[in-house]
Amino acid sequence: MKKFLVIILCFLGIQIDPAFCQSKLINRFISNENDSTQKARFIILPALGYSQETGFEYGLVSLTSFYTSKDTLTRNSNIGALVSFTTKKQSMITLKPDIWSKQNRYHYIGDLRYKNFPFSFYGIGDNTRKENEEKVIQKLGRISGEVEKLIKKGFYLGITANYENHTFIDKEPGGIFESDPFIRDKDGGDVLFLGISQITDSRNSNVYTTRGTYLKLNYSYAPDVFGGENFTGSSGKLDFRTFKSYNPQTVLGLNLIYQTIQGSATPFYLFPQMGNDQMMRGYYTGRYRDRNLLAAQAELKYKIIPKVGIVAFAGAGSVFNDSLNLNHFKPSYGGGLRYFFDTKRGLSLRMDYAFGEKRTGEERQKGFYLALGEAF
């Protein structure tokens, strides 16, 4: 197992260290000892990944990990950057800072993103069919930011701002994307959300959590600042996570999310989409989309040694318009492997394989995911 992991890391990893993959660094990677300090760490990796949305993804991803203070209370901060291309002719440029100030008094989150992203569109609702799959080109520009202020221990209030520009081109005219009258704003548009957040957070770590609870509520409003047919309305999000340790090696995590978008003429691209590498793994992102999304999952984690762990997960979720039908919940289950390249911070390489529902006349939905960091 150790030799196999070293081969993976030597193939995937380029670290700012001239001795990488020489005997001293190999011993560091496979050692069971805690190998990390509070010094800043910069890692560059080829962005070799895979998901059903992108196919194989290649490029460069960087992760800068650091602490803004030397005290033991301040959480780990990260700045992630990605430039990637995929075998499905997609390209992405992303910069995502996630910074905690001294003693976690402030939390700053940002997302700068450009995507030229051809994707598969199946329609609206929780009963879409594979046979209606249609290729659509999406170009997305996004600038978003959030500032959270500590009010008292474990309790934060935040303000958010998110601007997005969407452009769509139908590659296959005559299909469901063109003919469905419920699909609004097919050419794209602009939207600006301004919001407030309330966060309760008692987790012992924001990277690899072994105990504690996290609850975030967000309400955002999109004012009529662009005119025309651009969206005016509101959105709401709930993200609940709780973790319990049974022993130093075993952790159970539970995660519940709810998302809603409300407005009289909501564009299809603002509807919550079910399925990604974090929640409802095994489903193509956007295979099911509608005005509301509700999903939950449990994940059992076990560390074989400090640097290697395995997980098993299971969940269920659904999208819906006005009323939720419990019979329409769809399953998600699978397992994965974790390699912790920084045991103190809990930074990991994640490999998951997940299964979804088996619809009549279709193959079972499933997906493989290779990514940095935990699912939640």
**Counted domains in the chain:** 1
Is residue 9 situated within a structural domain? Answer: no
For residue 192, what are the CA distances in angstroms to 174, 232, 292? 31, 9, 20
Is residue 18 situated within a structural domain? Answer: no
Is residue 3 situated within a structural domain? Answer: no
| Tokens found for residue 328 | 């329409």
pLDDT mean for each 10 residues of the chain (376 residues) = 36 36 45 60 72 73 88 90 84 94 96 91 93 92 97 96 95 86 90 97 94 98 86 96 96 98 92 95 94 98 96 97 91 97 86 95 91 88
HSE, CB side, 13 Å, CA atoms: give it for residue 21.
12
pLDDT at residue number 172:
80
Is residue 67 situated within a structural domain? Answer: yes
pLDDT at residue number 31:
53
| Tokens found for residue 242 | 């709780």
Q: What's the pTM value of the predicted model, to 2 decimals?
A: 0.84
pLDDT at residue number 44:
79
Q: Distance between CA 233 and CA 220 in Å, rounded?
A: 9
**Helix segments in 89-183, DSSP class H:** 176-179
Is residue 299 situated within a structural domain? Answer: yes
Tell me if 126 sits within 8 A of 139, measured CB to CB: no
Nearest alpha carbon to residue 287 among 272, 267, 297: 272
Q: Distance between CA 356 and CA 233 in Å, rounded?
A: 32
* Greatest alpha-carbon span in the chain: 63
Is residue 79 situated within a structural domain? Answer: yes
**Residue 207 one-letter amino acid:** V
pLDDT at residue number 29:
46
Is residue 21 situated within a structural domain? Answer: no
Domain coverage including residue 68: 32-372
pLDDT at residue number 54:
67
The CATH number given to whatever domain includes residue 313 is 2.40.160.50
Q: Distance between CA 115 and CA 138 in Å, rounded?
A: 8
Helix (H, G, I), strand (E, B) or coil at 104: helix
Q: What pairs with residue 319 in β-bridges?
A: 293
Q: Distance between CA 320 and CA 288 in Å, rounded?
A: 9
Is residue 179 situated within a structural domain? Answer: yes
